[in-house]
Chain A
């Protein structure tokens, strides 16, 4: 059975190779090939999953060793896969949602002449992401980590003829490099501390390492997670990444790749459990990003960017939960899975709306679309209800558990975190309702596009609606399915461990409070965007709104601190180089030049002068010999 694990990765990898190297003759069937291979990977995943369910909870981890990558004395890197419950969850999510989005892309990218290449990149992404979650050591994980970074770069910049897309891709790549640097440093630290970077031996040895080292490793891993999962302070790339095609935003920048950071922290739970300081930083990062993303999401008029802010905020929830330790790991992953469903569905819905509205992304130019796009409206609406945590839907279960876990952290910390998560839930309700109202309700505010064509909203083709329906079903039922009888908890507990903590409030009180903030959020949004009419030109807005429209000045901050600072640093280094280094070098050269100029006069060309020096040298030699004998 474990031999199938490599096939999981191989299927999309072969697809990527064939599609990217195959040339134009594959243009007509390439998208079907890519989708088929993604589906094949999903089927293999399901087969492995059913096999895993058939075994007892302690015997579910499969291991496949392919070959030794770098077999050197004292350093060993293997290409080996490990499939346990955590990996399995990700495999199903990646291949499942991935297959749906492949299917959706067939319709969405129908008129793009580079569709085959697009599917090649998508398959490449699937392969890299599967390597990431299936690796049994950090080095192979790093390979997958870089692979998804590459795929993300290629897909964000897929419409490379648009300068904004090319810039966004570059930005995402560069910001991710900072995080990748953290991961590579973490791996090096692990190697010096433990002598290995395979999961098993490292986690077994965490008890022997000093807490300082573990904290350092944890912080570096967190840096990596921040880069990949768009957490503060490396969050700036996610909003711009929406320049990519919408299926990419749905798959990579909502459902799967951006959750790699959560996977990394959960996978390294042994390290974080032994380093409370690092955990505290993780929680702080999660809480800050949660509010940051939510506030940004409130101000954006671009539907995809509003959703991107939401993604950032929801991943903030997950990171926060993962930072809570054993109380929260399971709920982080659970929210990750449900979020994968409803956020992918929301993005696909957004893509469907854009598809019908001449690729218009400004929500102020939508309005009243519910009758024109009924399927999109219903599926988007279900995703919306799921994300705000409407009782009974997925988000309700998973987000509620995180809020409970935050309170269960205990002490002042618990209260603060609980309040932050509650506030976040309220803001989520607000901005998602805003999106919903501006898009599907109210009067029509449609504007002709740049070419002067008035939009003719219409329902998308079936290849696009079917994935949306499937994902909507997932958003409705996944949470309930996982929570009934604590199925998900029992499933993941052997890998991550679980601790109930001691909540200061009962679950009922917390749920009630969540409902209250939810209603407040929805009501405020209705007052502002439902009852009042929405102007097509964005109003000036408050200071906070204006800041939030500029992503809370993150780019300005980066520019002032990093770019300007870097410029000053380089300028001073150049100055140093010119004066100090060059001065020393040139001074040495000049002094030697002057010395040689003087010594050159000894070389006057007269044989007799040379004879004198020879004779003197002989005398010195005799003196030396005599001295040596005397001593």
Chain B
């Protein structure tokens, strides 16, 4: 992007006007994205806002001469980590909304007070520090940013790098261990399940299918019984637990009524006849 322009002014204590404009516009976007992250009711919205902030940060990395990091930020964070977040959000329930009312007494006030104090102190501290001369990365990036980083990683930080590798492996194994459920008994075969069903005598045929009136996301709409009420057996229990089932039975009954009305109109029968 404008990284080429930025690299020209990296050494100066003041940036180019282009970078300034970019900072003020994208900085605002980043802050708004961050605020949205913490204020959105649905986790999936929060995740999307966070992704936006991270992309803005990637641009800032590029502007600051960290070309490699900028790309890694996009690939690793927005590409991998945020996707992971989204997967988990899906797993937990994408449409489940949090209530934002606070349950802990005084928590919000304390959080606000601490946050304000912390932010003011941090900003005051930075403002107090004498950070007016910027060396810039022109010299450090002379041989190429990636080459410079590689030279550091594989010499000075080689041990940290290796240990980080070990950490990643450990994390991967740990995640598997945490989410893996050991099967303690043999899985039942189809035949055994069928036999058990017959023996119990409660539900001999397969469970009824959902989505009899498949106008929406059919999986979350329970099937209707002959009398028009819904059957809980037709929807996934996870959806039921999350409260994500949509009851359309009233709608359906109204629809049937309308259909009958229309057919009666077309056939020219009056209501008396129909009753009879």
Please give the residue numbers on chain A whose beta carbons come within 8 Å of chain B beta carbons, in ascending order.
604, 606, 608-609, 612, 615-616, 618-619, 622-623, 625-626, 629
Contacts and interface: CB of A to CB of B under 8 A. Distances in A.
Closest 10 CB pairs of A and B: A619-B118, A616-B114, A615-B114, A622-B121, A619-B117, A612-B110, A626-B125, A623-B121, A619-B114, A606-B104
A564 B110 CA distance: 66
B144 interface: no
Given A608-B107, A615-B118, 20 more contacts: A608-B104, A609-B104, A612-B107, A612-B111, A612-B114, A615-B114, A615-B115, A616-B110, A616-B113, A619-B114, A619-B117, A619-B118, A619-B121, A622-B118, A622-B121, A622-B122, A623-B117, A626-B125, A626-B128, A629-B128
Interface of B: 104, 107, 110-111, 113-115, 117-118, 121-122, 124-125, 128
Nearest to A615: B114
A626 B124 contact: yes
18 contacts: A604-B104, A608-B104, A608-B107, A612-B107, A612-B110, A612-B111, A612-B114, A615-B111, A615-B114, A615-B115, A615-B118, A616-B114, A616-B117, A619-B114, A619-B118, A622-B118, A626-B124, A626-B128
Contacts, number: 36
B87 to A, nearest CB: 24
Contacts of A612: 107, 110-111, 114
B200 to A, nearest CB: 42
Which DSSP category, helix, strand, loop or mixed, fits chain A's interface?
helix
Nearest to B120: A619
A618 B118 contact: yes
A391 B149 CA distance: 125
Contacts of A619: 114, 117-118, 121
Contacts of B125: 622, 625-626
A284 to B, nearest CB: 81
Contacts of A622: 118, 121-122, 125
B251 to A, nearest CB: 41
A609 B107 contact: yes
A479 B56 CA distance: 124
A604 B104 CA distance: 10
Nearest to A623: B121
B102 to A, nearest CB: 10
A571 B128 CA distance: 70
A287 B118 CA distance: 89
A446 B110 CA distance: 105
Contacts of B122: 622
Contacts of B114: 612, 615-616, 619
B100 to A, nearest CB: 14
Contacts of B128: 626, 629
Nearest to B125: A626
Contacts of B107: 606, 608-609, 612
A623 B121 CA distance: 7
Contacts of B111: 612, 615
Nearest to B113: A616
